[in-house]
Amino acid sequence: MVDVETTGFSPAKGDRICEIALVSLAPDGATVDEWHSLIDPGRGTGAVHVHGITNAMVDGAPVIEEVLDEVWRRVAGRVLVAHNLSFDLRFLSVLPGSHWMTETMCTQRLAPDFIPAGKWTLGACCERAGITFSNAHAALADAHATAELLRFYLRRGLSWQSELDRAAQAPQWRPSGLPQKRARQR
């Protein structure tokens, strides 16, 4: 599972990631690992009233390039799952090294097959699936909720074995040699 919190809606317009979370699941849906980090976006954090991330919170946090090897290493050989995947991919696909991402699933797009009709936000889907969800728009909380939603789908017959098999055949991430020293840009 991946979730990013951002300074806005469009990397093409200069918006950037200010928090990222990854929760790794086994094929049966059991959590095997999780990781998250605040990210210094090199600009204001944007809609603090939505994600709660202030400029002070990201002061001293790594810039995205400093954590990319960790992110890609954790995603390599796995299916990248998110709720409203197109949003997360919009930000991930512009990052160095993103070209190798192959298998993806969107819990929002799968929702109509597994839960009653209604709004398709993460919170609304969790509510209708009976999943407790709090702290919306915090990357790790959203990634946990997405993992719970995927587990809900798996218990109701979702098979993701073909996606897992294809992801396992994808090339493994090789460290990029991206700069590890922080280059301050303000």
Full DSSP string of 3-39: EEEESSS-GGGT--EEEEEEEEE-TTS-EEEEEEEE-
Q: What is the CATH code for 2-169?
A: 3.30.420.10
The pLDDT of residue 182: 40
For 13-56, write each residue's pLDDT tens digit: 999 999 999 999 999 999 999 999 999 999 999 999 999 999 99
Low-confidence stretches of the chain (pLDDT < 50) are 178-186
Which of helix, strand or coil describes residue 90? helix
d(CA 31, CA 48) in angstroms, rounded, equals 29
The pLDDT of residue 183: 38
Residues 102-133, buried b or exposed e (16+ Cβ, 10 A)?
Answer: bbbbbbbebbeebbeeeebebbebbebbebeb
Could you identify the residue written with the tokens 């990319």?
Answer: 68
The pLDDT of residue 88: 97
83, 142 contact by CB (below 8 A): yes
The pLDDT of residue 174: 76
